[in-house]
Structure 1
């Protein structure tokens, strides 16, 4: 297990280009299974979770060629379905939550899809019902092996389009059902569909392959099934979560940073929420410029009550940035309530911030009140362990602003979602070192 050694209290300065979006990459890479033709995907982030998925596709028989550092071609013309029932797949698939999204395309094209219970962040209960209920609605038969925690869906006569109302606007669930429905007979409507930019990108990519998806960007999707899909070339959006992470770093270290090519139109509420925390964000073309600020003040509501920052399905604020907002608030002027609605374990990392001197009251598993220091009291360096991807980067941000030298263990969690993070931080002046145990 590797660790980061971080000497805090140094200002950052310079320009950062965000990596490709992790969550989009996991979806669109699975979509290559829908066609025997070649698919080229650009701006793929070089991170553990995405590389694991590419490895699984390779074991499944997909021909993969690395064209450039972040560009790959995929051709799924000779798929080895026996791999899906192997011990190796049960091991490989269970280590990556994103592997669930191979099931929809495999079911659509080959009539069957299997998956071991997937892993991922330990941030609370993350059920798979939405995925499998969608497949059952399309005519698939579901089975589950309790001894081996192994899920399967099969159809002998092919999937048939239908109308469905999702029980929750699950992003990965919506993606999986879309990929299953594009090759189904007839028309499928999905109401209460997730409409995040990742889903919009997946839909645009599938349409460029010959799918017929309308309502893209809304929560009501209509999919007319087609006989087959062809190849395409697709570019992944910049990662909005990483963009928010860089904004948080700039604020906490009182630094000036430029974040390049952020695709402003796809950031939703993210700039607004940081501005409510008092952080200045300037739009310069398609870049974000964060000027150096000695302090930032949280805006109360117009009636004077304390600001609440809560997550919600798109176009609401993404839950993946709440950990970062919480850390940033520890040095703001004022008080904010952080309400994490979706995952009941994601706020449990706040004990580490309290150890560093932050004023955080954990009200319950979903809510924390943060009373900002306004930089009158610097966080103190400490030794800590990263519990998940977003908490990991949040603790890294805290360490960059803290007085002294911090150690963060279990940094594989950070590597799962952030490409080459220490080299990119060093390029803008951070004092960070990777220590291999």
Structure 2
């Protein structure tokens, strides 16, 4: 709503709803800025500390799933998992998991499936909703050979052949630009080499889809290694993002990146940091988990009552946020100020040195030649459907664009909703089966 100069008989009358809205926005803005400051102080003081031991957390009633790692948790429900380590071209060491389903007679001859998480997440996010709802369980149960990626900077991929994340600032000099250029191709190559398959099928959520687009633009031969792309709430440009807290957070970090780096802050929102430990603690209480943690999650996205269970909230905040670089968060702040899907903007003079132009170049979405299926929700306040429509107009090989039928379906529902089995999985599985080499066992 635009505010103009009042005229006529209404001159001088202030709309109370506008005042309430402005006050709310101001309060949210101040809260987020204070939160950013607290996170920064915590990182400057190296407050990467565990407030409680695992024994203490067990005694306090933390759900076991919030304390177990990926392989422990999947095995707990009868899903054997393997841990693999791979090396990117620029020296980052990433962890991927291979997860088997309860169905033992499926998968032979079918392409492996790579499932890639979103911003500030890890592979654990695909387990948080539990068996029967988490996409990792659902895809594995459908008989697919499932591989779950972890991009650089989260707690499973915090390693490098030369750089140490706690002492070398250069480790954190990355954004989605490097994740798409190096991490996604390395994950695809590792899975293909290990399984001896001809192609993979790729399911990417939010950042996990956006980095796939970057890969295809920068290294188009990798699109030929993919049978089908299933893009869930794909994050390309963020021009129309509705979430005020998210916008303030990302834009503030973008504007403060230089100062933050001077203070020695290259990593943000890591697992085990004071902010994450507090979230994990307070979300264990029933009334707080629903009222405070559920409301906080909804304010960053949108409200969808009954979609994410209280039990899931308790589990997910045990390992969310999973960490990323300040530079990556700044990159998202930039994307909200542009109507293009472009590389990092380093300023006119540095852009000329790096790119040969004043403006950062746009990614070539026409190079995304892999057949693509796009699923999105109209209540998504992080990846707005107008930006999805903009993306769909530029992808050359869209098989189907699906707006989830639930009008309240939002961004974080993709990983955490207990309704996933009915809302999005049938369509995902339809295309994974269609692009499998041998579907006769289904």
TM bin, normalised by shorter chain, reads: under 0.3
TM-score, structure 2 normalization: 0.24
TM-score scaled by length of structure 1: 0.24
